[in-house]
Chain A
C-alpha cells in the first residue's frame, strides 16, 4: 500500500498491512497526532486495508 505523509510531503510503500492501526506501529508514529484518510473518507484504526490502498496520514498538529 501507498502511505502519503505531509510536512514535508513524502510517500512510503508498505506490504501486508491489514489494519490502519498497524500502519502507525510500522512507521512508529503517534496515532493521536494524525487523521487517516482512505479514498477521500476519514477512517478509524480498525479499518481493514490491503496492498492496493492509498492512505493519507494527515498531521493534525499545526502552528504556534
Chain B
C-alpha cells in the first residue's frame, strides 16, 4: 500500500477515509482531524487555560502530544486509582512523558485524597469496577479543574469510546445519558467545568497508531479490572461491523450528534444543587461520589 499523499510506503490504512498513510502524513492527518474538531465544536481558543485528564494510556498521551504540537499550553492531571501495579506503572509513564516534554502534571491520589481505592469501592458498592472508577474520575478531575481555575477540562475519549457508549445507551434507552452525550459540555455556575473531547473523530486504532508512530511510551497492559467490561465488548462488536462496513462507527456517532441528540436534550431547569457533604454540584442531597465514599468506608468499619 502507498501513502495517499506522497506515494511512499504506507504504515496504516484508514479504510473509512479510503486512505493509506506513511508515518509523517498519518501524524499530520490525525493532527488535522483534531484541529478541525476543536474548531467545529468551538472547544477552546489559545487564551483558554486547559487541563487534560491523563491516564498514561495511548489516548491521553497522544492527545497531549497533539495539542502541544498545535501550540496549545495544556497542563495534565493524573488520578491515581489504586489499581496495583497497573496504576503505578501508568503513573510512571505519565510522569516520564511530562518530564521529557517539560509539561506540568498534577497527581491526585484517590486513597490519599478520599481514603479509598477503586477495587475496594467497587466491592463495597456492588458497582462494577469501571462504574466506580468512572464516577471517581469524573468527580475528581472536575474538582481539580474547577478549583485550580482552569477554563476547560480536556478528555481523551476517542471515536470508539463514544460510539460504544452511545451503543450502550441506545441498547438500554438511557434517555438522560443520551441527552448529555456531547463532545462539549458547558460550564455551570455551580461548579461544573467546561468539558471537551477533541479525539472524537479519531478511531481507537488510530490513536494507538499515533502513539506508536510518535514514539510515545504508553501503558500497553490492560487494566486488570477491565475483564468483562461491557463497553470493551461493544467495541469489539462494533469493530466487526466496521470490518464489513468501513465508516459505520463514525456514521453512528456523528449521525447521532447531528440528528439524534437534539431530540434527547434535557432542559436546563433540572437545577443542580450543592452536595451537602462536599459542595460539588449534584441533583440529589449528597452527591454520588460522596455516597460511594461513605459506603466504602462504612463497609470497612463493619467488617
Contact = CB atoms under 8 A, between A and B. Distances in A.
Contacts of A62: 57-59, 204, 222-223, 226, 232
A44 B11 contact: yes
Contact of B204 (A43, A45, A61, A64): A61
Interface in A21-64: 30-35, 37, 41-46, 58-64
Interface stretch (B179-187, B208-216, B272-280): B208-216
A64 B134 contact: yes
A7 B222 contact: yes
A64 B229 CA distance: 7
B214 to A, nearest CB: 12
Contact of B223 (A37, A46, A63): A63
Contacts of B1: 44, 46
Nearest to A34: B205
Contacts of A44: 1, 10-13, 20
B212 A61 contact: no
A10 interface: no
A33 B235 CA distance: 8
Given A35-B208, A42-B212, A42-B213, A63 B243 contact: no
Given A37-B212, A42-B212, A44-B12, A32 B205 contact: yes
A61 B236 contact: yes
Main DSSP-derived SS at the B contact region: helix
Contacts of B204: 60-62
B153 to A, nearest CB: 18
Contacts of B302: none
Contact of B130 (A32, A45, A59, A64): A64
Contacts of A32: 205, 239-240, 242-243
B95 interface: no
The range of chain B's interface size is: 35 or more
Contact of B226 (A37, A41, A45, A64): A64
B20 A64 contact: no
Nearest to A47: B1
B231 interface: yes
Nearest to B59: A62
Interface string B50-93: 00000101110000000000000000000000000000000000
Contacts of B10: 44
Contacts of B13: 44-45
Contacts of B162: none
Which 5 interchain pairs have the tightest Cβ spacing?
A64-B130, A32-B239, A60-B208, A42-B11, A7-B222
23 contacts: A32-B242, A33-B235, A35-B12, A35-B208, A35-B209, A42-B12, A42-B213, A43-B11, A44-B11, A44-B13, A44-B20, A58-B212, A60-B58, A62-B204, A62-B223, A62-B226, A63-B55, A63-B222, A63-B226, A64-B130, A64-B223, A64-B229, A64-B232
Given A58-B212, A63-B223, 13 more contacts: A7-B221, A32-B243, A33-B235, A37-B212, A42-B212, A44-B1, A60-B208, A61-B160, A62-B58, A62-B59, A63-B130, A64-B130, A64-B231
